Amino acid sequence: MPPQQTRPRLLQAMIDAFHLPDLRGRILFTLGILVAFRFIAHVPLPGVDTVALKNLFEQNALLGMLDMFSGGALKNFSVAAMGVYPYITASIIIQLMVPVIPRLQALAQEGEAGQHKVNQLTHWLTVPLAGLSGYGQIVLLRREGVVASADLLPTISMVFALMAGTIFLVWLGELITEYGIGNGVSIIIFAGIVAGIPSMIGGGFLDKEQFGGLAAYVLITLVTVVVIVIFTEAHRRIPVQYARTTFRGNRMYRQSGATHIPLRVNTAGMIPLIFAMSLVIFPGIVASYFAGPATNPNFANTIMNLFNPNAALPLGLFYWGLFFILVIAFAFFYTMVVFQQQDLANNLQRQGGFVPGIRPGKQTATYFNQVVTRITWAGALFLAVVAVMPFLAREITNVQVIQLSSFGMLIVVGVVLDTMKQMEAQLVMRHYEGFIK
């Protein structure tokens, strides 16, 4: 397609989408749910000192980054402060337990009914995880003087309010999935991230003394987004041929065909970042409970400094170097877990397919493992570089006002691509020419 036709084609596709009543209704329904989410994000919990909370966020950059994912809900400590992340954690735990627990593995192989039961288990697991996470947030804020009351009943009511907020957001996400456009839970996270970007960028450009650094920061961000798009869509195509013998009446027919299996370069998605981040921030959080005052530091203070993402060079190299290595390790681990669950070699053999030049069965499985291992190196290094990009951008540009988030960029790009593909599918179903080549 010539470059000058790209914009009209995209605009025409959006116009076509709004001209279809059912598709227009899905889009408007999704926007309405997101408006409701933004209202919920500003419903505060009682008993919170807003002044102390604001001061805490100004002093703790990590909390500021987490607040961006909740769309300001954590900064307001609203009922939606935890967002849908307990549900995401429950989904990851269930997914990792499927190949380990035979009963879960049997459920996953029962088709749609089994998947429905697995989803139910995920929802049930979300409830205690939301309770534990909510209580942990309350204890942390109480230690910082943000939550004054330590009585049992107020604490229980706040925990239940946070749990209800998470479950409500998960329900809103499922409504979007069923009646709107895109994956609902992902879009809820996407909306929370995007909602905090304007104020963050506005605050950054108000810092006129570092205008050159801010321009470089924006350029690094744009380049990172382009790289994320490339690696998110990148895959290795494995050629496959099918040869089947069918009987119709008393006659035998031989059928053949050729296709390919797309193996993604980044099969693990952003899961390795979540695992690695959880491990590298845990020692610092635990050490913060035992750290001494600045005038009389102890060993816990040393641990806090080592695992501080905002530490300057050369101390910051320990945290981000460990983060880099853990992302690579978890990328290989999670990719292999997912690949083993798919069992491509046996499924291909049962369907009468084979890779040209490779014997079906064990040799095909070995070939798939070799290919996945090679392309995972590219995906793992890509994730590791994206993970440390905030540190690199900060050191290169010396900009402290804007907090670049590798999680945020991966989520935003992934959700936009997925939603565009679903929009394309809806348009193709209705005989409209889409906008994704």
Measure the CA–CA gap between 305 and 303, rounded to whole angstroms: 5
CATH tag, 208-400: 1.10.3370.10
Q: Which two tokens stand for residue 43?
A: 């419903």
Looking at residue 60, its pLDDT comes to 63
Mean pLDDT of 304-315: 76
**Those residues with Cβ within 8 angstroms of residue 106's Cβ, 6 or more apart along the chain or in another chain:** 114
Residue pLDDT, tens place only, 324-347? 999 999 899 888 888 877 777 777
Residue pLDDT, tens place only, 43-77? 888 777 777 777 777 666 566 666 665 666 777 78
- Picking from 86, 131, 61, the residue whose alpha carbon sits closest to that of residue 281 is 61
Domains 1-197+407-437 and 208-400 share a fold: yes
Residue spans of alpha helices (H) in 234-257:
none
Backbone torsions φ then ψ of 253, nearest 5 degrees:
-120, 135
Lowest mean pLDDT among 200-214, 233-247, 293-307, 400-414: 200-214
List the domain boundaries for the chain: 1-197+407-437, 208-400
Measure the CA–CA gap between 317 and 419, rounded to whole angstroms: 37
Q: Which amino acid is at 168?
A: F
Looking at residue 434, its pLDDT comes to 46
pTM, rounded to two decimals: 0.74
Residue pLDDT, tens place only, 117-155? 888 899 999 999 988 888 888 887 787 777 776 678 888
CATH class, range 1-197+407-437: mainly alpha
**Those residues with Cβ within 8 angstroms of residue 28's Cβ, 6 or more apart along the chain or in another chain:** none
Q: 271-288 vs 85-97: helix axis angle to the nearest 10?
A: 110
Looking at residue 293, its pLDDT comes to 67
The helices-and-strands tally (H runs, E runs) of the chain is 17, 3
Measure the CA–CA gap between 150 and 147, rounded to whole angstroms: 8
